[in-house]
Amino acid sequence: MVEKLSLLKEQKRIHRLESGYWINLLGRLQLEKDIKNASTIIDLGCGPFGLYLLQMKTEDDTNYFKVNEFIAVDPLIDEYVTSLDFFDKQDYPKCKFVASSIEQFQTQKI
Query: Among candidates 44, 54, 48, which has minimal Cα distance to 20?
Result: 54
For 44-74, write each residue's pLDDT tens digit. Answer: 999 999 999 888 766 666 778 888 889 999 9
15 domain residue, yes or no = yes
CA end-to-end span of the chain: 38
110 domain residue, yes or no = no
Q: Where are the beta strands (DSSP E) in 5-65?
A: 40-44
82 domain residue, yes or no = yes
Q: What is the dihedral of CA 36, 91, 100, 24, to 10 degrees?
A: 40
45 domain residue, yes or no = yes
Number of domains in the chain: 1
The pTM for the full model equals 0.82
- Which domain, by its residues, includes 98? 2-103
46 domain residue, yes or no = yes
109 domain residue, yes or no = no
Per-residue pLDDT of the chain (110 residues; tens, 9 = 90+): 556 667 677 778 888 888 889 989 988 999 888 887 888 999 999 999 999 988 876 666 677 888 888 999 999 999 999 998 888 898 888 899 999 999 999 886 66
108 domain residue, yes or no = no
